[in-house]
C-alpha cells in the first residue's frame, strides 16, 4: 500500500509540473510540500509552521511551506523514500526512521545515552549533531535541524512495568529500526515493527500488547484508550529530524537555501518550548482520563546495558566517547556507558 502511494505521489508530481520542477529558482513562487504523521497542533508540526512563517516573511511570500499532517502522504518510511527520489520536498520524521537509511545516526537512539536535557542539546546543536546532519547528503537527504521529542517509555494494556522482567511475554510495537528492535528484545519483550498509524488498531485488536513512545504521542494517538498502563522508564530520547530532498535542494538558489536553513535552526527553540508545555498538558489530560502511571526501577533497566552496547554499538565507539566528554555536568548520576 505504501509503495503504491509512493508512486501515485511521484506520478502526480510529474503530471503537475511537466518539464520543470517546483523548486526551480526562476519561478515567482515556490511551494514546498512537507509531510508529518502527527495532527495539526502537535509540537513537531507547529515547529515547521513557525519556520514556514519566517520563510514566507523573509521571501515576501515567494516561498511557501505547506504541511500535510496525519500521515496523509504516507508512513515515515515512505516519506523518507519519496524525499530521496525527489518526489516530495520536505518531511518531519523520527530520527529512528532515518537511521535505517544512514546507520551513523543510530548513536542518538542508544538507551540512556544522554545525561540530561542540557547534555542532549549540546550534542544535537554542536559539532556531533552538525556532522550527523551533513552525513545525510550522501543518502540524497539534507538535514535541516533536530526537534525535541521527549523521552520514550513503555505502555501496555496488561500491567504496570516496574522492572525489565515485567515486559516478558508482552508483544511491544517498536519503530521500524534495528536498534529499537534489539533493545526491546534485550529487555525481554517480543518486538513487533509496525508503522505509527497502524498501532492503534493493532492495540485494539490485541495483535500487540503495548508500545513505547513519549507522553504527547501517547495522548494524541489515542493509544491511552486501549493501553492504560504507562511506565516512566525513559529508555530512549529519540529526536525528530526535519529533512528536505537533496535533489530538490540543489535546484534552489543559494540565497534560498540559506533562508531555509536559518529559519529551520531558528524554529528549534520555539518547538522545544511548545514541547515542554504540551508534555505537561498531555500528562494532566491523561491523568484525568484515568490512565495508570508509575515510576520504574531505572537502575534495573540500566543493569547490564554495557553488554547491550558491546553487542550493538561498537561502530559508534568514537562518537560515544565524544558524547561522554560533552557531559553537561548537571546530572548528579552520570551514565557510565
Is residue 231 exposed (0-12), middle (13-18) or buried (19+ Cβ within 10 Å)? buried
pTM for this predicted structure: 0.89
3-state helix, strand, coil in the chain (%, to 5): 50, 20, 30
The answer to whether 199 and 211 are in contact (CB under 8 A) is: yes
How big is the chain, counted in residues?
337
Residue of 229, 186, 228, 191 whose CA lies nearest to 208? 191
pLDDT at residue number 315: 95
Q: Copy the grid coordinates of residue 62.
A: 515567494
Give yes or no for a contact between 114 and 121, defined as CB atoms under 8 angstroms apart. no
For residue 253, the model assigns a pLDDT of 97
The end-to-end CA distance of the chain, in Å, is 41
The CATH class of 2-18+30-150+238-281 is alpha beta
Cell numbers placing 139: 543518502
Spatial CA neighbour of 94 closest among 74, 73, 80, 107: 80
Closest alpha carbon to 113 in 280, 327, 292, 288:
327
Q: What pLDDT is stored for residue 326 in this prediction?
A: 86
Return the closest-CA partner of residue 51 out of 144, 140, 132: 144
110 vs 180: CA distance, rounded Å: 8
Q: Going by DSSP bridges, is the β-strand pair 210-213/141-147 parallel, antiparallel, or unpaired?
A: unpaired
Q: Which CATH number fits domain 155-237+293-325: 3.90.110.10, 3.40.190.170, 3.30.930.10, 1.10.10.10?
A: 3.40.190.170
Q: Name the residue ranges covered by the structural domains of the chain.
A: 2-18+30-150+238-281, 155-237+293-325
**Short-list 212, 196, 210, 192, CA closest to 301:** 212
State residue 15's pLDDT score. 36
pLDDT, block means (10 residues), the chain with 337 residues: 50 41 61 98 98 98 98 97 99 98 98 95 97 98 99 99 98 96 98 96 98 98 98 98 99 98 99 98 98 97 94 95 76 40
Same fold, 2-18+30-150+238-281 and 155-237+293-325: yes
The C-alpha cell that represents 35 in the structure block: 509531510
Amino acid at each position: 500500500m505504501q509503495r503504491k502511494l509512493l508512486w501515485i505521489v511521484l506520478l502526480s508530481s510529474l503530471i503537475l509540473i511537466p518539464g520543470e520542477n517546483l523548486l526551480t529558482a526562476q519561478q515567482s513562487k515556490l511551494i514546498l510540500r512537507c509531510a508529518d504523521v502527527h495532527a495539526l497542533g502537535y509540537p513537531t508540526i507547529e515547529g515547521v509552521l513557525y519556520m514556514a512563517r519566517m520563510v514566507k516573511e523573509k521571501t515576501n511570500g515567494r516561498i511557501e511551506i505547506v504541511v500535510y499532517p496525519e500521515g496523509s502522504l504516507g508512513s515515515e518510511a515512505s516519506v523518507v523514500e519519496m524525499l530521496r527520489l525527489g518526489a516530495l520536498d520536505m518531511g518531519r520524521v523520527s530520527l529512528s526512521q532515518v537511521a535505517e537509511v544512514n546507520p551513523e545516526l543510530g548513536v542518538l537512539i542508544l538507551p540512556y545515552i544522554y545525561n540530561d536535557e542540557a547534555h542532549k542539546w549540546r550534542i544535537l546543536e554542536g559539532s556531533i549533531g552538525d556532522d550527523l546532519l551533513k552525513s545525510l547528503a550522501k543518502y540524497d537527504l539534507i538535514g535541516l535541524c533536530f526537534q525535541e521529542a521527549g523521552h520514550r517509555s513503555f505502555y501496555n494494556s496488561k500491567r504496570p512495568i516496574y522492572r525489565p522482567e515485567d515486559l516478558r511475554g508482552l508483544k511491544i510495537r517498536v519503530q521500524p529500526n534495528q536498534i529499537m528492535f534489539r533493545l526491546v528484545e534485550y529487555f525481554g519483550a517480543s518486538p513487533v515493527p509496525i508503522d505509527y498509524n497502524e498501532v492503534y488498531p493493532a492495540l485494539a485488536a490485541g495483535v500487540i500488547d503495548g508500545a513505547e513512545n513519549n507522553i504527547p504521542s501517547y495522548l494524541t494517538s489515542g493509544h491511552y484508550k486501549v493501553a492504560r498502563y504507562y511506565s516512566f522508564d525513559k529508555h530512549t530520547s529519540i529526536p525528530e529530524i526535519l529533512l528536505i530532498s537533496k535533489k530538490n535542494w540543489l535546484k534552489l538558489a543559494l540565497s534560498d537555501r540559506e533562508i531555509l536553513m536559518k529559519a529551520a535552526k531558528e524554529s528549534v527553540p520555539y518547538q522545544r518550548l511548545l514541547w515542554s508545555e504540551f508534555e505537561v498538558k498531555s500528562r494532566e489530560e491523561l491523568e484525568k482520563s484515568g490512565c495508570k502511571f508509575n515510576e520504574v526501577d531505572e537502575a534495573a533497566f540500566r543493569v547490564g546495558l554495557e553488554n547491550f552496547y558491546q553487542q550493538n554499538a561498537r561502530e559508534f565507539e568514537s562518537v560515544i566517547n565524544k558524547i561522554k566528554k560533552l557531559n553537561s555536568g548537571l546530572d548528579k548520576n552520570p551514565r557510565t556507558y
